[in-house]
Amino acid sequence: MPLQLPKSSWSTTELEDLRELSRSFLQKEVVPHQERWAAQKKADRELWTKAGDVGLLCLSIPEEYGGGGGTFAHEAVLYEEQSRAGDSAWGVTVHNGIVAHYLLAYASEEKKREWLPKLATGEMVGAIAMTEPGTGSDLQGIKTRAVRDGGHYVLNGAKTFITNGFHADLVIVACKTDPDAGAQGVSLLVVETDTPGFRRGRVLDKVGMKGQDTSELFFDDVRVPAANLLGDAEGQGFVQLMQQLPQERLIIAVTAVAGLEAAVDLTLEYTKERTAFGRPIFSFQNTKFTLAEAATEAAVARAFLDQCVERHLRGELDVQGAAMAKLWTTERVNKVIDDCLQLFGGYGYMTEYPIARAWADVRISRIFGGTSEIMKEIISRSL
């Protein structure tokens, strides 16, 4: 029997219908291909257009731009089901919940109408490039440079760890338009990847998330139209990043909690079927106590996450609240999945078992979107 947790407080009949659609799509178009995608280090490009065909892209973008007209809750349902399906290959959280919302918030009306409908159909895949080979959490220290030249910017630099990097048709690039101005010198430029001077490096070999196309990107004198600047002036990029990061961190929390719940369900099923010394593993006190703690962690994490989702839907989730959500849920999911893996014994270390893949996949959650240490720093500023 799986965990018996109450339905999320923000759930509706419409969202549960979307949950069924998401689940059936993932089971048909994603789950059967996991091993192949891991071997090739990327999902099939056709996955994006298939998702667009059934309406799973840009769920929270207004209908006038080709989106689904929903809210963050619609996105959360899809991300939860993806996490529960054990998939980490499809970079839909970046495409839907991050890239599309930067464009919605900061692109010109003309560019929104040009780009967002293509993201919604899967004709374009979106990525965002912040991290550089020598710069991780310190976004003020980025070296990628954009110099104005008439009606264009000339962009030079390199980025790494870029989700959707291999398939991306459109990349939001954090760069310096004024290298001497610190945070006030950061701008965001949108680069279409068919532009001369743009090139992709290797698809990176990661500990987990083997099927996700995480790549290096290079910009060599790339001429980007000035109209592709996000915002109405240079130097707004750092503020834009700070405004959007709470949603990104809440997305990570959503996937963490769903992954935690899925891990407990997997382990309950395994320990009740697997026997040792003539009885089910679940009957041993250590197993029952471990899973009692895990189930409690799941219930607490779900309650806190639901509160944060409700706040975000009301426009009230602040930077500190989002940092708390990311910190707590990612730390908890890492601990719980490690405890669950232990109960599988040697099989827990075999990659054909979902618990092993989940253990490897989830480790990055304490790093990307801002490390746990950065989350503590952010939280401490409000104390």
- Per-residue pLDDT tens over the stretch 37-56: 999 999 999 999 999 999 99
CA distances from 260 to 257, 264, 330, 334 (A): 5, 6, 9, 8
Q: Is the pLDDT of residue 233 over 90?
A: yes
Supply 98's token pair.
């991050």
List, for residues 278-327, the tens digit of each pLDDT value. Answer: 999 999 999 999 999 999 999 999 999 999 999 999 999 999 999 999 99
Residues belonging to the chain: 383
Q: Which pLDDT does position 202 carry in this prediction?
A: 92
Q: How would residue 5 be classed by pLDDT, with cut points 50, 70 and 90?
A: confident
Rounded to an integer, the average pLDDT of 350-358 is 96
pLDDT score at 305: 98
User: Which residues form the catalytic set?
Assistant: 248
Q: Region 221-232: what's the mean pLDDT?
A: 98
Average pLDDT over residues 204-216: 96
| pLDDT above 90 for 371 | yes
Q: What is the pLDDT of residue 138?
A: 73
Q: Which two tokens stand for residue 303?
A: 């309650």
Per-residue pLDDT reduced to its tens digit, 74-84 = 999 999 999 99
Q: Are 186 and 238 in contact (CB under 8 A)?
A: yes
pLDDT for residue 4:
80
Alpha carbon 281 to chain centroid, angstroms? 35
d(CA 129, CA 111): 19
Confidence grade of residue 1 (pLDDT, cut at 50, 70, 90): low
Provide the 10 A C-beta neighbour count for residue 303: 15
Q: How many CA atoms lie within 13 A of 357 on its CB side?
A: 19
Average pLDDT (89-115) is 98
CB atoms within 10 A of CB 215: 24
- When pLDDT is cut at 50, 70 and 90, the band that residue 141 belongs to is confident
Mean pLDDT score, 226-235 = 97
**Stronger pLDDT, 285 or 1, i.e. the higher one:** 285
Query: What per-residue confidence (pLDDT) applies to 196?
Result: 98
- What's the pLDDT tens digit per position in 159-201? 999 999 999 999 999 999 999 998 899 999 999 999 999 999 9
Percentage of the residues of the chain whose pLDDT score is greater than 90? 95
pTM exceeds cut of 0.85? yes
**Mean pLDDT, all residues of the chain:** 96
